[in-house]
Structure 1
């Protein structure tokens, strides 16, 4: 139980921080990428839906988070790829 709580907290933090960038596209792409990685890890560790469906769900949630945030809400600086 304690391990699951830690993983869920890390996943939540990753989704919250995943939507960083200066444009909506940057935030959508970075949110989807981090969400996919987090979803795959959680799906693989806990079973249930599995790694691939977990990645798809995580990418959707992370991408949506990035798309619906604005630069003032989440501003962690320039993306690494710029």
Structure 2
């Protein structure tokens, strides 16, 4: 997130959530923050804290992005009755 920005992360979340539980990702970030804090690894602690702190905003942006983006892979219908000879 620090490298590519929150908008890029939010753009990926709708796709990622089909493969992993996003609540578990948030919990993992929280646990990793605490582990980094215990080890006095300030750099990593700040990164994980930033992720967990921004999680609600990221989810909101992800919902907005998903609503504005057409669903890739959705099948369109074809009506044979509308065909002309």
- Give the TM-score normalised by the residue count of structure 1: 0.33
Query: Which structure's CA Rg is the greater one?
Result: 2
